[in-house]
Chain A
Amino acid sequence: MGMKGIKDQTYYEILEVSPTATAKEIQRAYEHAKETFHADSVAVYSLFSEKEVKEIEEAAEEAYRVLMDESSRRSYDRTHSRAVGEQSLEEPFDSQVASREKRASLSFTDLSFNVEMEHYRGRELKQVRERMGIDLQTVSKETKISLRILESLEEDNFENLPALVYLKGFLKSYAQCLGLDSQKVVEDYLQFMRESKKK
């Protein structure tokens, strides 16, 4: 990538993914970019000005918007084939190293931490699934969870959900199917369910 300004980077470079990245990888990369490049992020403190952070934030949003839609991604790849081609010839992109490092760093300890990121509820899960272009039938097929339960899950229709012991397993499979952090999804969803039932 060299020392290019944000305007000169391809959408793949902005999100730090390979030109052959899957929808799941793009989703993860986008969430990481959102977490990194915002006004209150400690990681950008003293390195970037507020204006520069905003620029990167907006660039990441646009990159995500284009790359998550199959047809706009195809069209983008066609018009930027040279820039994208050059990128794939460079040394292997960091995202694969990143996800290996991430798995290695996080896997050895069983410590569970409080998470303060945005929360996964039915609506958020449905949004992520739709952005990835995965329909509920596909999720049902892969996870062996019935369509009825998946729909209830996404609509936060708690009465129609099975007992906790099964629900946890279903949530975990659903999260893994979408390539999300399954522990977080389970924790968030169950927490939300508990809070809603109290009201």
Chain B
Amino acid sequence: MGLERAFRVGQAQTSNRKMIWTIGGGKGGSGKSFITANLGICLSKLGIRVVLIDADLGGANLHTFLGISPPALSLSDFIKKRVSHLREVLIPTAVPNLQLLTGAQDLLNAADTKSVQKRRLIRSIQSLESDTILVDLGAGNSLSVLDFFLMSDGGILVVTPEPTSIENTYRFLKSAFYRRLKQSVSSASVKALIDDAMDRKNEMGIQTPHDLVKAAMRMDETDAQRMVEEAGTFHPNLILNQVRSKKDIEIGFSIRSACLKYFGMHLHYLGYVVYDQDVSNSIRRRRPLVLENSRSRAAQCVMEIASKLADSH
């Protein structure tokens, strides 16, 4: 059973339908962990039961953003069966309704983790007592990371208004997009075509998703149509971080238009977080910004985004 199907079947079987958001999108340092931690706190303060999952391949540090010492128990204790239930490795935080699960980067090292272990883990995550799960995927781009991003209820990209960050995000989005297209088609030749399309120097001269659909139409019209439909139902979300000007805010709308033109996909501009010195001050003090300084401009921005996520619950 593929990972995505395992996920969906698990979701259907659990009695409480929880929202699973994954935060990812390329470049390190764009603020994913900061935003995951503070969003989690805001949601839990709204009365929503939240589990934060740290799956950052670059190293788990959500606990630092939450002001918790490096946790004694992690996901690998569950995977290696040192504990029998996943809830035993959940770490409580100072915030009611908020718990942390760390070390999920082990799960995303695809080479090491057997798929049967992954499925067991996914089922356990789905049965956790919570309303919302936020997964910090970090800067990874592996197939497992992409799969998690795609199978969640909402993938959230965090990007800063700099060319390098935007470039990395587009790279991630292309990988996720083509992977999603590949999962939607059935013919082996079209799957191979999609793989080719990922290489811009491919022999077929496929440079854009539009070129890909044209080439696929010649092979299998049904699959080509499926790809177009799939692109139309893919709705990742965007948070623009470290915004310093009105022009920066507008970049979020421009990225959305660029994605519509290039991928034929509707990117949802969830909101922005202004650049704020209070952010790095709070990180240094290991105190979450939304608790330490809820009136700061960046905290206000995060709260606004949290209320939008809560509304979509």
Q: Which residues of A contact B (CB under 8 A)?
A: 1-6, 16, 32-33, 35-37, 41-49, 52, 56, 94, 98, 101-102, 105-106, 108-109, 111, 113-117
Q: Which residues of chain B are near A16, meaning CB under 8 Å?
A: 257, 260
> In the complex the two chains form, what is the Cα distance from A140 to B163 in whole Å?
45
Which of B1-9, B55-63, B187-195, B261-269 lies on the face that meets chain A?
A: B261-269
> In the complex the two chains form, what is the Cα distance from A52 to B264 in whole Å?
15
Q: Kindly provide the distance from the CB of B174 to the nearest chain A CB, expressed in whole angstroms.
A: 9
Q: Which residues of chain B are near A48, meaning CB under 8 Å?
A: 258, 261-262
Q: Which residues of B contact A (CB under 8 A)?
A: 161-163, 166-167, 170-171, 207-210, 212-213, 227-228, 231-232, 244-258, 260-264, 266, 268-269, 271-272, 274, 297, 300-301, 304
Report yes or no: B262 in contact with A47, Cβ–Cβ below 8 A.
Answer: yes
Q: Which residues of chain B are near A98, meaning CB under 8 Å?
A: 253, 256
> In the complex the two chains form, what is the Cα distance from A109 to B171 in whole Å?
32
Name B300's contact: one of A3, A6, A49, A108 (CB within 8 Å): A108
Report yes or no: B261 in contact with A115, Cβ–Cβ below 8 A.
Answer: no
Q: Which residues of chain A are near B166, meaning CB under 8 Å?
A: 42-43, 45-46
Q: Which residues of chain A are near B212, meaning CB under 8 Å?
A: 3
A-B residue pairs, 4 tightest by C-beta: A43-B254, A3-B264, A113-B246, A36-B254
Report yes or no: B260 in contact with A113, Cβ–Cβ below 8 A.
Answer: no
Q: Kindly provide the distance from the CB of B258 to the nearest chain A CB, expressed in whole angstroms.
A: 5
Q: Which residues of chain A are near B209, meaning CB under 8 Å?
A: 3
Report yes or no: B255 in contact with A43, Cβ–Cβ below 8 A.
Answer: yes
Report yes or no: A42 in contact with B297, Cβ–Cβ below 8 A.
Answer: no
Name B210's contact: one of A4, A46, A94 (CB within 8 Å): A4
Report yes or no: B210 in contact with A42, Cβ–Cβ below 8 A.
Answer: no
Q: Which residues of chain B are near A111, meaning CB under 8 Å?
A: 274, 297
Known: A3-B264, A43-B166. A105 touches B254 (CB 8 A): no
Q: Which residues of chain A are near B163, meaning CB under 8 Å?
A: 42, 45-46
Which residue of the partner chain A has the closest CB to B181?
Answer: A3
Known: A45-B166, A45-B167, A101-B269. A1 touches B263 (CB 8 A): no
> In the complex the two chains form, what is the Cα distance from A52 to B208 in whole Å?
10
Report yes or no: A115 in contact with B247, Cβ–Cβ below 8 A.
Answer: yes
Best-surrounded residue of B170, B246, B301 (most CB of chain A within 10 A)? B246
Q: Kindly provide the distance from the CB of A92 to the nearest chain B CB, expressed in whole angstroms.
A: 11
Q: Which residues of chain B are near A113, meaning CB under 8 Å?
A: 244-249
Report yes or no: B253 in contact with A46, Cβ–Cβ below 8 A.
Answer: no
Q: Which residues of chain B are near A4, meaning CB under 8 Å?
A: 210, 264
Q: Which residues of chain A are near B304, meaning CB under 8 Å?
A: 108
Report yes or no: A109 in contact with B257, Cβ–Cβ below 8 A.
Answer: no
